[in-house]
Structure 1
Amino acid sequence: MLLHKNDNPKAKTPKPTHESQNNMKPNKLILLLAFLILSSLHSETSYAETVYVDDNQNLVWIRTGPTKEYRVLPPIPPHTKLEVIQVNDETGFTQVRDVTGREFWIENQFLTRNETSKHLLASALQKIKAMEDQHVEKVASLERQITDLTPMKTINEELQGKVAKLENELEQINQKSQLYKRGFYSEMFFAGAIVIIGGMFLGWVFSKLGGKRRGNGWS
C-alpha cells in the first residue's frame, strides 16, 4: 500500500505560530480572573457567620487592627450581634461588622457563637407575641362565626316558638276530644238507661194488659 506525503507518520507536527500564541494569552487571562473572583467569593462566604459579644463582659474595647498596637475605638456593650469578616488566629483577633455596617477588630475571647441571654429572651418574647397574635386571630374568627350564626339562632328561636304553639293547640284539641268522649259515653249511658227503663215499663204494661185479658176470659 502506497503512502501519500500527508500519511507519513514521521511527519513533524507544525509549531504554533506567533498569531496563535497571542490568541491563547487572553484565554489564560480570563481563566485567571475567573479563578481570582471565585477565590475571593469563597474567602468572603467562608466567614459569613454571626457571633455575639459575651454577656459575661461589661464593655469590650475594639480596635482598628488585629493587634493591641492598633488604635482603640469606643467600646461596645455585651449581647452585641456581629458578623464575622475574617479571623486572625495568630493574633487572636477577629474582624467583624455590626448592624450599622461599621467594621472593626475584637479579641476572640470576647466572642461567642451561642446566642446570649438577651437575644434568647428577645427570641422567646417574639415567639410569645406570635402566639398571642394567633390566639387573637382565632378569637376574632370565632366571633365572626358566632355573628354569622346569629340569624340562624333567631330562626331557630322562631321555629321553637311555633312548635310550642302547635303543641299547645294539640293539647287543647286532646282535652276537647276527651270532653267529647266523656259526653258521648254519658249520653250513651243515659240512652241505654232510658231504653232499659222503657223496656221494663212496656213489659209491665204488657203484663197488666195480659192479666186483664185472662181475667175477662175466665169470667
Structure 2
Amino acid sequence: MPKLRLIGLTLLALSVSGLAHAEEKRYVSDELNTWVRSGPGDNYRLVGTVNAGEEVSLLQTNDGSQYGQVRDSSGRTAWIPLKELSTTPSLKTRVPDLENQVKTLTDKLNNIDATWNQRTADMQKKVAQSDGVINSLKDENQKLKNELIVAQKKVSVANLQLDDKQRTIIMQWFMYGGGVLGVGLIMGLVLPHLVPSRKRKDRWMN
C-alpha cells in the first residue's frame, strides 16, 4: 500500500509538472452547466458542476490533459476542461450590461423627446399668443375703419344739412330784403302823391 501511494503521488506530481500558477479570470461556456473533477483529467472523479456563464478564477493549467484548476464564486476549487473556459465575459454577464446600456440610451432618448416636446409646446404657445395679438390688432384696425366710415358719413350728412340751412337763411334774407325794397318802393310811389294833394287843398282853402 505505501508503494501504491508513492506511485500515485509520483504520477500526480508528473501530471501537474506543466501547471502555470498565475491566477486569471475565465468564464464558463454559456451552453450548459459544466462538470468539474477532482483532478486534471477525465479519469478523476466528478465533484460537481459550475453554472453556465459563471465567472471563475483560473489557478493553473495542465497542458497535457488540457484541464485547468479553477475557483468558483463560493471558493470551491476543481478541475475543468480548458475548452469550457473563455477569456471574454459570458452572455449571461454581457446581456444585463447590454440591457443596462439600452435602458440608459432609452432614458436619454426619452428625455430628449420630452425636452423637444416641451420646447415644441412652448413655441406653439408663443405662436398662438402671437396669432392672438395679431388677430386682436386686426379686429381693432377693422373697428377703427368702420368707425371712420361712420364718422365720414355723419360729416357728409352734417355738411348737407348745413348747406340746406345756409340756403334757407339766404332765401329768408332775400325775402326780407325783397319785402323791404317793395315797401320802400310803394312808399316812394305813394308819398309824392299824398304830399302835393295837401298843398293844393291848402291853396284852395285860402
TM-score range, shorter chain: 0.5 to 0.7
CA distance in 1, matches of 2:184, 2:58: 149
Which of 103-112 and 60-69 deviates more?
Answer: 60-69
> How many correspondences in the alignment?
159
Q: Deviations over 1:158-182 (max 9, x none)?
A: xx9xxx8xx9999999988877776
The answer for the alignment partner of 1:35 in structure 2 is none
The answer for the alignment partner of 1:196 in structure 2 is 167
Structure with the greater alpha carbon radius of gyration: 2
Structure 2 residue matching 1:79: 3-state secondary structure: coil
The answer for the alignment partner of 1:29 in structure 2 is none
CA distance in 2, matches of 1:168, 1:135: 44
Q: Deviations over 1:28-78 (max 9, x none)?
A: xxxxxxxxxxxxxxx87x5433x222234x342212332344442112243
Please tell me the residue identity of whatever aligns with 1:78: A
Map 1:161-180 → 2, pairs under 5 A: none
Given the alignment of the two structures, is residue 122 of structure 1 paired with residue 96 of structure 2, yes or no? yes
Preserved contact between residue 50 and residue 72 of structure 2 (Cα < 8 Å): no
Structure 1 residue matching 2:53: 3-state secondary structure: coil
Greater relative contact order (Cα 8 A, min sep 6): structure 1 or 2? 2
Q: Percent identity?
A: 19
The answer for the alignment partner of 1:52 in structure 2 is 27
Please tell me the residue identity of whatever aligns with 1:54: S
Please tell me the residue identity of whatever aligns with 2:104: A
Q: Deviations over 1:139-193 (max 9, x none)?
A: 9x86xx99xx9xxx9xxx9xx9xxx8xx999999998887777656645543442
The answer for the alignment partner of 1:205 in structure 2 is 176
Map 1:32-111 → 2, pairs under 5 A: 47-49=23-25, 51-56=26-31, 58-111=32-85
Distance 1:59 1:172, change over 3 A: closer
CA distance in 1, matches of 2:43, 2:144: 110
Distance 1:134 1:104, change over 3 A: farther
Please tell me the residue identity of whatever aligns with 1:53: V
Distance 1:182 1:113, change over 3 A: same
CA distance in 2, matches of 1:130, 1:99: 29
Q: Deviations over 1:102-129 (max 9, x none)?
A: 2222111222223444334333223234
User: CA shift at 1:92, angstroms?
Assistant: 1.2
TM-score of the superposed pair, with normalisation by structure 1: 0.50
Please tell me the residue identity of whatever aligns with 1:206: G
For structure 2, the residue ranges without an aligned partner over 5 or more in a row are 1-19, 191-206
CA distance in 1, matches of 2:106, 2:149: 65
User: CA shift at 1:99, angstroms?
Assistant: 2.0
Distance 1:53 1:88, change over 3 A: same
Distance 1:126 1:173, change over 3 A: closer
CA distance in 2, matches of 1:61, 1:54: 11
